[in-house]
Structures are given as structure tokens and as C-alpha cells.
């Protein structure tokens, strides 16, 4: 695989890095203590204007059409400065890709320009339920046909950006008698639709500026035109798009891990103990070498998965491998970086304690590390046939 970047990919990476350093880094700690939604939304709007909300969306619909590799690079750079902004950007791109892949022409023309332009500050991916997390096929949210409409009832939990999403992609059971996963359909539901209720933001360990909410549907009536794709064929759409989302979350984890190690590297080069700087101690040198090696390996796994997706090749196994490895190694990097700072790593004067909290969720959402191992093993065994 050629790992050199195209001119466009390099430009997107550089632009994301500059924006993150200039606009996100100075306010990330403030957002962690007391999220400023006005400022957060302003930064999302600027990212949309720069083309970052439709990185893999066709230009005909207002997208950048830069591809999955560029998307991964951008999310990593944003995450180095603000994981909350990075996850919102990742999920919004994910929703745009679902609509582009499954929606009809009218749906794409109506929703994609609003997402890409920032008219919708974000978009929501409504799949997880309280009894259907790692097993989304067990969902209970229903969509019952009523004349030319569907009536949705149920709730989705842990929905990123629900408070300011303009549209949700919602999965619901349309055939309750079908086996799990066989009677599920996919709908586009606008935020202002009567019957859509957004619950209070969850009090989270990290990534606090990005609100995570329950989305409740109470006799929510949507027209038949809200159905995406074929009725009862929506679950395979969710499975496919989760694979793409895993590239985004792996990239996010990589960015946080790199940011943590960069802080630790600078610190040990300056901090003195026993008459010399900490970087002269072999134990810390080895920690530095091991973690940067891990993160470089994670970057290569992510680039491979992104490249396969971009070329239209099967990528589910590779995306799970990349997400599993990147998220686990980024967690290790953040905790080792905190350890390298000693007591300073534990206080808010340095960002390590925030990085450690922000990175923890990356091994959980878009499929836990345990689920990734199941996906990887399943794909490996399938190859025998």
C-alpha cells in the first residue's frame, strides 16, 4: 500500500491541524469544565464551511468528496485538540454517508446540503437502545404503517449531538414477527418532528462538550417518504455503516493518544530529577518508544482500512482491527503519558487527566473491543470458505 498522501489529503490534514491548534486547543479545557454550546456550535459551523462535515460526500450534494483516507486524517488532527469536536464531526460524516449510500435522490438532495453546509449543526445516528447495545438486532423501537405514514414509538440512548442534530437516521422494527435483524427498517426523522423528545444530556466521564442524549419517539408520525431503502432491509445498512464509523473512532483515539504522548515527551525533556532531565532514564525512553510504535502501527491499520473502503473493497475486518488496536493502544498511551508526568499528570494544570477520560470511551462506542474481536474472528473464519 502506498502510504504517501495526495496533495488534497495533505491539504485537508494541514487545514484540520491548523484549525484545531488555533480554534479548538485554546478552549478544550474550558469546554471540559463548563461546556459553552454557543462556542462549540460556532466551531462546528466553521468546520462545515471548511468542508469537514461532508468529507466523503459527493460534491453534487455540497460535499468535499475527499475520501475516507482524508476523513481519517482530519478526525485524528481534530482529536489531538478536542475529542468532543472530533466525535461530533465523525458521527455527522457517518450520517451523511448513510444518506448518500441508501437514500433516494430526493432524500439526498434535501438533507445532504444541509448537513455539509452546517445549516444542520450536526446529524444523529439513532441505533443503540437500553436493551440493544452490542446486539442492536434486539431493538424494540417500532415503526407501524398507518396509511401513507409510519408511527414510531420507542427510545434510543447515547445519541451523539442529539440536542442540536437537524436530522436523525433512525432504525426501527417494521416486522415484529421477523427474526432479529430481519424486520428492521431505516428512517430519516427531522429534529422538529412532533413526537421527537430529546432527553437531558448525560453526565459523562469525558468528551463533555459533545452532548449525549436519549432520543424518545412518542407516536412520532413520519411520511412513507422518510423510509430509506427497502422496508425490513435496514439492519444490514446499520452493520455496514458501523464499519465505516469504526474508522472514525479509531482515528479519534489515535489523535488523543498522540496528543498525550506529545505532552509527555516534551515534559520529560525538560523536567529534572536526580540531577538530570527525565528523558535520560531508560525506563521512560522505552515507554516513549513503545507507545509511539503502537500509535504508528495504529495509524497504518487505519490507513489500510480507509484505503480499502475508499477503493470499494471489503473492509469490515480491517476496520475492526484498526478500531480495536487504535482504541486499546491509545488508552495505554494516555495512561502511560499520565504516569510519565507523575503527580502533575493527575491535576488539571496539564491535559493528561482530560485525555485519559476522553480516550476511555473509544474502546466502547461504535462497538466495544470485545465486539471487534468477534467481528474479526467471524471474518477470519469466513475466509476459510
Show which residues are catalytic.
Answer: 366
**In this structure, are residues 105 and 43 in contact, taking their beta carbons and an 8 Å threshold?**
no
**In this structure, are residues 373 and 381 in contact, taking their beta carbons and an 8 Å threshold?**
no
C-alpha cell at 312: 470499494
Phi (first) and psi of residue 157, to 5 degrees: -120, 165
**In this structure, are residues 26 and 43 in contact, taking their beta carbons and an 8 Å threshold?**
no
What is the DSSP pairing of strand 165-173 with strand 122-126?
parallel
Q: What counts of helices (H) and strands (E) characterise the chain?
A: 11, 10
Cα-based angle 45, 352, 288 (whole degrees, multiple of 5): 115
Half-sphere exposure of 66 (CA within 13 A, CB side): 25
Distance, CA of 378 to CA of 163 (rounded, Å): 36
Helices marked H in 20-120:
25-33, 37-49, 68-81, 83-102, 105-117
- Helical packing angle, 105-117 and 37-49, nearest 10°: 120
Phi (first) and psi of residue 276, to 5 degrees: -150, 160
Distance of CA 185 to the CA centre of its chain: 22
What's the full length of the chain, in residues? 385
Q: 241 Cβ partners below 8 Å, 6+ apart?
A: 94, 97, 98, 101, 125
Amino acid at each position: 500500500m502506498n502510504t504517501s498522501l495526495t496533495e488534497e489529503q495533505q491539504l485537508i490534514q494541514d487545514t484540520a491541524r491548523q484549525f484545531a491548534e488555533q480554534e479548538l486547543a485554546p478552549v478544550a479545557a474550558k469546554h471540559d469544565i463548563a461546556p459553552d454550546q454557543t462556542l462549540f456550535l460556532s466551531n462546528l459551523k466553521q468546520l462545515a464551511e471548511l468542508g469537514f462535515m461532508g468529507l466523503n460526500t459527493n460534491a453534487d450534494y455540497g460535499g468535499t468528496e475527499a475520501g475516507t483516507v482524508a476523513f481519517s486524517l482530519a478526525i485524528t488532527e481534530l482529536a489531538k485538540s478536542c475529542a468532543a469536536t472530533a466525535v461530533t464531526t465523525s458521527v455527522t460524516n457517518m450520517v451523511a454517508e448513510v444518506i448518500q449510500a441508501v437514500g433516494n435522490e430526493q432524500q439526498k438532495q434535501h438533507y445532504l446540503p444541509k448537513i455539509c453546509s452546517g445549516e444542520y449543526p450536526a446529524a444523529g445516528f439513532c441505533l443503540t437502545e437500553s436493551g440493544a447495545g452490542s446486539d442492536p438486532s434486539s431493538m424494540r423501537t417500532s415503526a407501524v404503517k398507518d396509511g401513507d405514514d409510519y408511527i414510531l414509538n420507542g427510545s434510543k440512548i447515547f445519541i451523539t449531538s442529539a440536542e442540536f442534530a437537524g436530522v436523525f437516521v433512525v432504525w426501527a422494527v417494521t416486522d415484529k414477527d421477523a427474526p432479529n435483524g430481519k424486520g428492521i427498517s431505516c428512517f430519516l426523522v427531522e429534529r422538529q418532528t412532533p413526537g421527537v423528545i430529546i432527553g437531558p444530556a448525560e453526565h459523562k466521564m469525558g468528551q463533555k462538550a459533545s452532548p449525549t442524549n436519549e432520543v424518545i419517539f412518542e407516536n412520532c408520525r413520519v411520511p412513507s417518504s422518510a423510509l430509506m431503502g427497502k422496508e425490513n432491509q435496514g439492519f444490514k445498512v446499520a452493520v455496514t455503516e458501523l464499519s465505516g464509523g469504526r474508522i472514525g473512532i479509531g482515528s479519534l483515539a489515535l489523535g488523543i493518544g498522540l496528543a498525550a504522548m506529545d505532552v509527555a515527551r516534551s515534559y520529560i525533556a525538560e523536567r529534572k530529577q536526580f540531577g538530570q532531565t527525565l528523558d535520560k532514564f531508560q525506563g521512560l525512553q522505552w515507554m516513549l518508544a513503545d507507545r509511539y510504535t503502537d500509535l504508528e502501527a495504529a495509524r497504518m491499520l487505519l490507513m489500510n482500512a480507509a484505503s480499502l473502503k475508499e477503493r470499494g473493497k471489503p473492509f469490515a475486518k480491517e476496520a475492526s482491527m484498526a478500531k480495536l488496536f487504535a482504541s486499546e493502544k491509545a488508552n495505554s498511551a494516555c495512561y502511560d503519558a499520565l504516569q510519565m508526568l507523575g503527580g502533575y499528570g493527575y491535576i488539571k494544570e496539564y491535559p493528561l487527566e482530560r485525555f485519559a477520560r476522553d480516550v476511555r470511551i473509544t474502546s466502547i462506542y461504535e462497538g466495544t473491543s470485545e465486539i471487534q474481536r468477534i467481528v474479526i474472528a467471524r471474518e477470519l473464519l469466513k475466509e476459510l470458505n
